[in-house]
């Protein structure tokens, strides 16, 4: 039986070796759960993309995500349809045209934990509801589950295997305020729920993201909302087609994302079609 040892792990979380130690000398879940409550567990030790990725790889392992196995199965399905394809084509080939990024490196597919923590800190989350539109493996739900238990997380994701994995991990770590659901954001009958914060990280095709931004603009016409936009495509679509979001934003100058605030007072432009 695994025991809590006074010598391991260090709880300072100052260098990657501190997380590595947790893998070489695993602790019982009850002790890991306590470590998840420390902010520094989710903070990358340096402002550096490589370190942020390494940190996230270690966290995925500590949390017990089986991302490699899961994504390899999806790639296998993709290869059956398109033997000479690549990550740009396999997703649409097996998911009815949706760009689900099958075959993309999982550390590119998902936002690093350190960036997600920074987003939550800037949002100063209390009891708000956050929706991740295209949640992949639902990492934000783990950060919010561990650090913001009074807030609520909903992740919408097209790929059922990713949704199941996210919910398995939430259950393991008692993230009772987080859930992921299978949802096609571009489905005709999809209605965007009324929540406080919408998060988009380049989830799919540009016309799909643009349509979602149009739906968010309609929500902003009804009540104050915040929109976290990560990725070049989403931020360019906002700059080109959704000036309503640009009026007022926090998180300016952040390297990896913008946080926009909009409300009925903000001028809301009509949804524009992409040519």
User: What letter would DSSP give residue 47?
Assistant: S
Decide: is 254 part of the binding site for ligand SAM (CB under 6 A). Answer: no
Decide: is 118 part of the binding site for ligand SAM (CB under 6 A). Answer: no
Decide: is 134 part of the binding site for ligand SAM (CB under 6 A). Answer: yes
In the shown chain, the binding pattern of residues 193 to 212 toward ligand SAM, with x for contact by CB under 6 A and - for none, equals --------xxxx---x----
Sign of the dihedral defined by the CA atoms of residues 27, 33, 38, 39, in that order: positive
| Distance of closest approach, residue 203 Cβ to ligand SAM, in angstroms | 4
Using the rule CB under 6 A, give the single segment among 30-38, 46-54, 130-138, 171-179 that binds ligand SAM.
130-138
Q: How far apart are CA 113 and CA 59, in angstroms?
A: 8
Decide: is 113 part of the binding site for ligand SAM (CB under 6 A). Answer: no
Q: How far apart are CA 221 and CA 240, in angstroms?
A: 19
Ranges of beta strands (E only) in the chain are: 129-133, 152-157, 178-182, 197-201, 225-230, 249-250, 257-262
Q: From 228, 225, 221, select the one nearest 267 (Cα to Cα).
A: 221
Decide: is 156 part of the binding site for ligand SAM (CB under 6 A). Answer: yes
| Distance of closest approach, residue 67 Cβ to ligand SAM, in angstroms | 11
**Residues in 11-40 at the binding interface with ligand SAM, rule: CB under 6 A:** none
Decide: is 109 part of the binding site for ligand SAM (CB under 6 A). Answer: yes
Q: Report the Cα 153 to chain-centroid distance in Å.
A: 10
In the shown chain, the binding pattern of residues 209 to 248 toward ligand SAM, with x for contact by CB under 6 A and - for none, equals ----------------------------------------
Q: Binder to ligand SAM among 125, 136, 163, 213 (CB under 6 A)?
A: 136
Q: Binder to ligand SAM among 18, 60, 71, 157 (CB under 6 A)?
A: 157
Using the rule CB under 6 A, give the single segment among 16-24, 77-85, 127-135, 258-266 that binds ligand SAM.
127-135
Tokens representing residue 3 in the block: 């025991």
| Distance of closest approach, residue 159 Cβ to ligand SAM, in angstroms | 5
Q: How far apart are CA 160 and CA 181, in angstroms?
A: 8
User: How does DSSP assign 93-156, residue by residue?
Assistant: HHTTT----TTS-HHHHS--HHHHHHHHHHHT-SS-EEEEES-TT-HHHHHHHHH-TTSEEEEE
Tokens representing residue 228 in the block: 């976290």
Decide: is 169 part of the binding site for ligand SAM (CB under 6 A). Answer: no
Decide: is 185 part of the binding site for ligand SAM (CB under 6 A). Answer: yes
Decide: is 42 part of the binding site for ligand SAM (CB under 6 A). Answer: no
CA distances from residue 118 to 126, 149, 178 in whole angstroms, order as listed? 15, 16, 18
Contact positions vs ligand SAM (CB under 6 A): 98-101, 109-111, 132, 134-136, 139, 156-159, 162, 183-186, 201-204, 208
């Amino acid at each position: 039986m695994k025991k809590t040892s006074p010598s391991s792990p260090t709880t300072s979380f100052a260098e990657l070796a501190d997380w590595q130690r947790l893998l070489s000398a695993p602790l019982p879940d009850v002790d890991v759960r306590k470590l998840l409550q420390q902010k520094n567990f989710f903070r990358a030790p340096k402002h550096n993309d490589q370190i942020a990725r390494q940190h996230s790889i270690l966290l995925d392992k500590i949390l017990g995500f089986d991302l490699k196995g899961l994504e390899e199965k999806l790639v296998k399905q993709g290869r059956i349809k398109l033997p000479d394809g690549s990550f740009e084509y396999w997703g649409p080939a097996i998911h009815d045209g949706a760009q689900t990024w099958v075959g993309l490196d999982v550390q590119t597919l998902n936002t690093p934990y350190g960036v997600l923590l920074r987003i939550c800190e800037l949002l100063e989350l209390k009891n708000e509801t956050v929706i991740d539109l295209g949640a992949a493996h639902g990492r934000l739900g783990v950060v919010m589950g561990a650090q913001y238990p009074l807030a609520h997380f909903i992740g919408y994701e097209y790929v059922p295997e990713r949704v199941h994995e996210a919910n398995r991990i939430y259950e393991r770590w008692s993230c009772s305020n987080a859930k992921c659901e299978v949802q096609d954001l571009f489905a005709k009958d999809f209605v965007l729920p009324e929540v406080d914060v919408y998060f988009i990280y380049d989830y799919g095709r540009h016309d799909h993201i643009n349509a979602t931004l149009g739906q968010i603009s309609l929500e902003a016409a009804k009540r104050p909302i915040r929109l976290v936009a990560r990725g070049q495509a989403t931020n360019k679509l906002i700059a080109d087609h959704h000036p309503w979001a640009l009026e007022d934003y926090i998180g300016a100058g952040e390297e990896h994302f913008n946080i926009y605030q909009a409300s009925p007072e903000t001028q809301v432009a009509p949804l524009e079609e992409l040519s």
